[in-house]
A and B are shown apart, each in its own frame.
Chain A
Amino acid sequence: MTAASIAGAVGKPFRRSGVTPASYDRDASTFATPARKLVLVLGLVGVYFLPGLLDAQYMSIANFAWIAIIGAVGLNLLTGYAGQVSLGQAAFLGIGAFSAVVVLKAVSVGLLLGVPIGGCVAALVGLLIGLPSLRFRGFYLALTTLALNFIAIYVLQKYQTDQNALTGFSLPTQNLGPFSFKTDHDWYYLLAVLGLVAILFSNNLVHSRTGRAWMAVRDRDIAASIVGVNVTRAKLSAFMVSSFMAGCAGALLAYYQGNISVSGFNLNLAISYVAMIIIGGLGTTSGAVIGAVIISALPYWITDLVNALPQHLSVVESLQNSIYAVQSGVYGLIIILFLIFESRGVVAVWLRLKAWLLLWPYQRRGIMETEE
């Protein structure tokens, strides 16, 4: 006599708790429950006060993390919600960055124009890179996006060589009206605002008609088209939105770093964004955020960890000498371990905990561990 058979005989003794919207407005709203509103407020407060808690090194990590968040949230919309596998993130970031450079050279205007234009140019290219998605899916799509990614990077490379900027382009400090962005501290607030905008935008989009169309396409695009979803529009719009966000992130990266070179936009960068959304949790915005933070901070944590080991061991010394390789290795290992043990990411760990709490003292979890 097992728990399952008891449950089967008696009827379901448990009722699934959580958000069960009973009206369209409720379903479409981003912060449906009081709990979510509280999380929002706490989150904003936390973000505001964070700089006070961090030292200089972590401030720069935080800034890179915000930029990564924008890119990762965008990629999550494309791959997690619309189901289109894309390995082209590096190209979009690069295009955004280089557009910023071009705008600077052309009209000597920085942030204000550079970021949106970077986004738009990337979106147009995204439209192009998205065209194969109308014909392929899965791995074939991934490889075609990879191919276009390499072609786009070649174009950037050519531009850089033609401009005789062999070590890259440098960009001056940015000003926006009365604000001047010189230090990490200054940049933090700008990037945090933009990052939050990206997160809210993504959340909102997901609950809208476009978001639902994307999810329909992700699950069964043939069936979706039968139901009346314009599959072409859904796929291409997903590509455009996600590459717009990546383009903005790339432009911001260029301004923040102060210099930019095409060598930074390579396959490893594209893979790192995919790793962000997978480790965080594919298909959720919060997953993308968590993943972005983890992957951005990872190299530093590894270095800190290696430095914290007893210094006199020769093994430790050789690790320190090849710290870059160690970072690489650990990063690969983490991807593997996450996929083996929790393939739905950090977010799923939370969901499992929630399911365990809900069902205690019963032990069966199973399909309760899914969200929505």
Chain B
Amino acid sequence: MSDFVHATSSALGLAPIYILTATGFVIVYRATQVFNFAQGALMMLGAYFTYQATEKMGLALVPAIILTVLAMAVVGALIYQLTLRPLTGHGTFGLIIVTMGVSILLTGIVAAKWGFTALALSAPEPALGIHSGSFNLGGFDVGSIILTAVVLGALAAFFQYAPIGIQMRATAESPKLASQRGISVQRIYTITWMLAGAAAALAGAIVSFRTGASPTVAAIGLLAFPAALIGGFDSLRGAIVGGLIVALAQAYAAQIWGTEIQEAVVYALMLVVLMIRPYGLFGSPEVLRV
């Protein structure tokens, strides 16, 4: 029993990363119908920026994170302007491959500059930890849960009520009509990618405190795909639920069967969910015309 409690607590520490990364996927997909393979690499870059901010620039925890978020928002906008905007009108397959290319390029750049060994951060742990029996949540973990909850709440409110949020939803439904109503679709897409960059920055910051910054961080983002798929690729609510489910599945699988099989279990779970609900738990079906 205590094993399960322990596994649950480690899942809760892991979930924010998946939730934030899945949120990044969902934001980009809803607005642009593009699957952003580079989200994991963006998270990796976020981890490295956090490292630079805390270790090399000597900033405290909160300013470092804020700086990283701003920097990654710029990176997101750049990626959109340089690689996706030239490809407007291409089929989705090409767009997905381009994001794969971006992912590979970013990994190469990061590895070239910082090497392949993991870089550890030395910022002090905030005194937020919850330790009770075998339920262990470190200060960073609790902090990241709070952060994720706040961010997602803000995002949901943004999309629901803020004028730009409404414009983004409109553009997602029909870019053509949106531009006819005076919305600059390019501007909306740029903002979308900035948000994705920001989400990746937060996820990356969390990862960097947990396990340090290394090129393999990008691979953590891979498991956020099943999270987003299980939740439904166009639903923010789905990103939260999916991220939680994946984190729990991974932790329990590792506890019961060992760490080797944990990824396979997550993917198997994703396949099962897709068989029952092809568009995820909260996703909406695509309409296909013959």
Q: Chain A interface (Cβ within 8 Å of chain B)?
A: 85, 132, 135-136, 138-140, 142-144, 146-148, 150-151, 154, 157-158, 161, 220, 222-223, 267-268, 271, 274-275, 278, 318-319, 322, 324-336, 339-340, 343
Give the residue name and chain of the A residue nearest to B223 (CB): A150
Least CB distance from B101 to A in Å reads 3
The residues of A that contact B103 with a CB separation of less than 8 Å are 332
User: Can you name 9 A-B residue pairings with CB atoms under 8 Å?
Assistant: A136-B274, A138-B92, A147-B270, A147-B271, A154-B261, A322-B115, A329-B108, A330-B108, A333-B105
The residues of A that contact B98 with a CB separation of less than 8 Å are 335-336, 339-340
The residues of A that contact B102 with a CB separation of less than 8 Å are 332, 336
The residues of B that contact A147 with a CB separation of less than 8 Å are 226, 267-268, 270-271
Which of B66-74, B83-91, B139-147, B169-177 lies on the face that meets chain A? B83-91
The residues of A that contact B100 with a CB separation of less than 8 Å are 271, 274, 335
Q: Chain B interface (Cβ within 8 Å of chain A)?
A: 35, 83, 86-87, 90, 92-94, 96-98, 100-112, 115-116, 222, 225-226, 229, 260-261, 263-264, 267-268, 270-271, 274-275, 278, 288, 290
Q: In the complex where A336-B98, A336-B102, A343-B94 touch, is A324 in contact with B111 (Cβ < 8 A)?
A: yes
Least CB distance from A236 to B in Å reads 17
- CA of A370 to CA of B166, assembled, Å: 41
The residues of A that contact B83 with a CB separation of less than 8 Å are 336, 340
Least CB distance from A345 to B in Å reads 11
The residues of A that contact B108 with a CB separation of less than 8 Å are 325-332
Q: Is the CB of B111 within 8 A of A322?
A: yes
Q: Is the CB of B90 within 8 A of A328?
A: no
- CA of A86 to CA of B102, assembled, Å: 19
The residues of B that contact A222 with a CB separation of less than 8 Å are 288, 290
The residues of A that contact B275 with a CB separation of less than 8 Å are 135
The residues of B that contact A158 with a CB separation of less than 8 Å are 260-261
- CA of A324 to CA of B226, assembled, Å: 29
- CA of A224 to CA of B35, assembled, Å: 27
- CA of A335 to CA of B222, assembled, Å: 20
- CA of A142 to CA of B90, assembled, Å: 18
Q: Is the CB of B93 within 8 A of A85?
A: yes
In the complex, which of the residues B106, B115, B226 contacts A332, with contact meaning CB atoms closer than 8 Å? B106
Give the residue name and chain of the A residue nearest to B34 (CB): A139
- CA of A318 to CA of B109, assembled, Å: 12
Least CB distance from B281 to A in Å reads 15
Q: Is the CB of B290 within 8 A of A328?
A: no
Give the residue name and chain of the B residue nearest to A268 (CB): B104
Listed residue (B83, B104, B106, B110) with the most chain A CB atoms within 10 angstroms of its CB:
B104
Q: Is the CB of A140 within 8 A of B264?
A: no
- CA of A212 to CA of B112, assembled, Å: 46
Listed residue (A268, A328, A334) with the most chain B CB atoms within 10 angstroms of its CB:
A328
In the complex, which of the residues A143, A274, A324, A325 contacts B97, with contact meaning CB atoms closer than 8 Å? A274
In the complex, which of the residues B229, B268, B288 contacts A143, with contact meaning CB atoms closer than 8 Å? B229
Q: Is the CB of A335 within 8 A of B101?
A: yes
The residues of A that contact B229 with a CB separation of less than 8 Å are 140, 143
- CA of A325 to CA of B116, assembled, Å: 9
Q: Is the CB of B97 within 8 A of A154?
A: no
- CA of A334 to CA of B96, assembled, Å: 15
Q: In the complex where A138-B92, A150-B263, A151-B267 touch, is A335 in contact with B104 (Cβ < 8 A)?
A: yes
Q: Is the CB of A331 within 8 A of B86?
A: no
Q: Is the CB of A339 within 8 A of B104?
A: no
- CA of A343 to CA of B86, assembled, Å: 11
- CA of A313 to CA of B115, assembled, Å: 20
Q: Is the CB of A343 within 8 A of B90?
A: yes
Q: Is the CB of A220 within 8 A of B93?
A: no
Give the residue name and chain of the A residue nearest to B86 (CB): A340
In the complex, which of the residues A146, A161, A324, A329 contacts B109, with contact meaning CB atoms closer than 8 Å? A329
- CA of A335 to CA of B105, assembled, Å: 9
Q: Is the CB of B112 within 8 A of A322?
A: yes
Given contact pairs A151-B268, A340-B87, a sample of 9 additional A-B residue pairs in the complex whose CB atoms are under 8 Å apart: A136-B278, A139-B92, A147-B271, A158-B261, A275-B101, A322-B111, A322-B115, A328-B111, A335-B104
Q: In the complex where A150-B267, A154-B264, A325-B111 touch, is A331 in contact with B97 (Cβ < 8 A)?
A: no
- CA of A138 to CA of B34, assembled, Å: 11
The residues of B that contact A161 with a CB separation of less than 8 Å are 260
- CA of A142 to CA of B94, assembled, Å: 13
Q: Is the CB of B112 within 8 A of A332?
A: no
Give the residue name and chain of the A residue nearest to B93 (CB): A85
In the complex, which of the residues B86, B261, B264, B278 contacts A135, with contact meaning CB atoms closer than 8 Å? B278
Q: In the complex where A135-B278, A138-B92, A322-B111 touch, is A331 in contact with B267 (Cβ < 8 A)?
A: no
Listed residue (A150, A157, A220) with the most chain B CB atoms within 10 angstroms of its CB:
A150
The residues of B that contact A220 with a CB separation of less than 8 Å are 290
- CA of A222 to CA of B94, assembled, Å: 22
The residues of A that contact B107 with a CB separation of less than 8 Å are 325, 328-329, 332
Give the 4 A-B CB pairs with smallest separation, nearest first.
Answer: A329-B108, A332-B105, A332-B104, A335-B101
Q: Is the CB of A138 within 8 A of B93?
A: yes
Q: Is the CB of B87 within 8 A of A144?
A: no
- CA of A45 to CA of B270, assembled, Å: 50
Q: Is the CB of A267 within 8 A of B222?
A: yes
- CA of A53 to CA of B271, assembled, Å: 50
Give the residue name and chain of the A residue nearest to B290 (CB): A222
Least CB distance from B263 to A in Å reads 6
